[in-house]
Amino acid sequence: MRERKTSWAMRPTAVLLVCGMLGAWALGRPAQAMAEDTLPVVQTLTMSAPKEGRRRPLVAIVADNAGTETTDFIVPYAILKASGAADVVAVSADEGAVELMPALRMLADTTFDRFDATVPSGADVVIVPALHRADRPAVLAWLRKQATAGATMVAICDGAEVLANAGLLRHRTATSHWYSRDRLRRRFADTMWVDDRRYVMDGNVMTTTGVSASIPASLALVSALGGPGAAHETARKLGAQAWSDVHDGSRFVLTARAVATALMNRVAFWRRETFDLPVGNGVDELSVALTADAWARTWRSDVVATADAHVIESKYGLRLLTQPANIRHERVTIPDDRRGEAVLPGVLADIAARYGDATSGWVALQLEYPR
């Protein structure tokens, strides 16, 4: 049986414990979080008509086999598929399995080479999640090719660093994960980096803040592709109230408490757990992604998708790779009353019940989630 190897939760956390930055971490402000959900959208993404007389836009979501952030990839895939506003294809750099970070594995629909052979005119929209390697030449070359062919470029979280490495954020306004922005300001001084927006739209380029921004950003993208009606209907299905871009970035900083929690969880290797996450054909992608991603970010647990079959197909056609359940593992499940956007608060509450509020807050900080 294949045990999933321990993986890092996101690019910034690999060095969080070294830097020891201090600041004010003000989570747990529900009134402000509610305001973020209800304030109106103030930006618009420039969209061209679909290429070659397509009835709907073609959206390609990029995956690098060596490592692609779980929620950054699956959330826009699920939301765009659910909306019916676009045709969506998962495109990987190479053949074979895609390792999702910090949990799950999948198979993409096609590769860069096959996509180029079958769709020579290119995609209408290309979505770039955070990748394990933000500077892989094959990925950067393909993104430049798609941009040159007229694709609208969308970066989720630290996918912004990938776009910046490809030279696609020069002289633009952009954002990224809270932990990365200062470093990106130093490296890419010809980009104006914004702190206080969940997502930023500059012409035909869109970037977002941390991992959880994938939900409002994807709904804003649905609105741009299919109109406000499609976005509202999709938001209703997901239990989302709105898709505001308003965001208080000052609430997300590394503190002594966060560093201490991360250190304690990392060094407590003898208490590390592996959870089985049972899945089956037709499983809801959003629920699986948010559940697995959050638990795997505790630095005390790993999550493995389990099923009788080696490959299962999710609700909207994503092929997840699984392994048999392990009787030595406890299970994490997705309650019936948690679907769509309601999953994450519930999972954070479950994490707090098992590991304490400090670990739940550490996960929320990594996800840049306004609790």
Q: What's the fold here for domain 42-249?
A: Rossmann fold (3.40.50)
The alpha carbon of residue 113 and the mean position of all alpha carbons in its chain are separated, in whole angstroms, by 24
Where do the DSSP E strands lie in the chain? 58-63, 68-69, 87-92, 97-101, 105-107, 110-111, 125-128, 152-155, 173-174, 192-193, 199-202, 205-208, 273-278, 301-306, 311-313, 319-321, 330-331
pLDDT of residue 237: 86
| Rounded alpha-carbon distances, angstroms, from residue 7 to 25, 198, 310 | 26, 26, 21
| Rounded alpha-carbon distances, angstroms, from residue 137 to 60, 70, 130, 134 | 18, 22, 15, 9
Domain ranges for the chain, please list them.
42-249, 252-367
pLDDT of residue 269: 60
Which of 283, 338, 287 has its CA nearest to residue 307?
283
The amino acid at 127: I
Tabulate helix, strand, coil % of the chain (nearest 5): 40, 20, 40
**And the tokens for 79?**
């939301």
Peptide bond into 335 cis (omega under 30): no
- Cα separation, 67 vs 99, in Å, equals 5
The amino acid at 143: L
One digit per residue, the tens of pLDDT, for the chain of length 371 reads 443 333 333 444 443 333 333 232 232 333 333 333 333 444 778 888 999 889 999 999 999 999 999 999 999 999 999 999 999 999 999 999 999 999 999 999 999 999 999 999 999 999 999 999 999 999 999 999 999 999 999 999 999 999 999 999 999 999 999 999 999 999 999 999 999 999 999 999 999 999 999 999 999 999 999 999 999 999 998 888 778 899 998 899 999 999 999 999 988 666 789 999 999 999 999 999 999 999 999 999 999 999 999 999 999 999 999 999 999 999 998 876 676 668 899 999 999 999 999 999 999 999 999 87
User: Residues 160, 169: contact at Cβ < 8 Å?
Assistant: yes
pLDDT of residue 19: 33
**And the tokens for 28?**
């747990």
Which of 74, 51, 29, 17 has its CA nearest to residue 248?
29
pLDDT of residue 342: 80
User: Residues 196, 247: contact at Cβ < 8 Å?
Assistant: yes
CB atoms within 10 A of CB 245: 23
The amino acid at 151: A
Three-state DSSP state, 200: strand
CB atoms within 10 A of CB 344: 26
Strand pairing category for 152-155 and 125-128: parallel
pTM for the full predicted model:
0.89
User: Residues 118, 124: contact at Cβ < 8 Å?
Assistant: no
pLDDT of residue 240: 81
Beta carbons within 8 Å of 215's beta carbon, 6+ residues apart: 75, 79, 238, 240, 243, 341
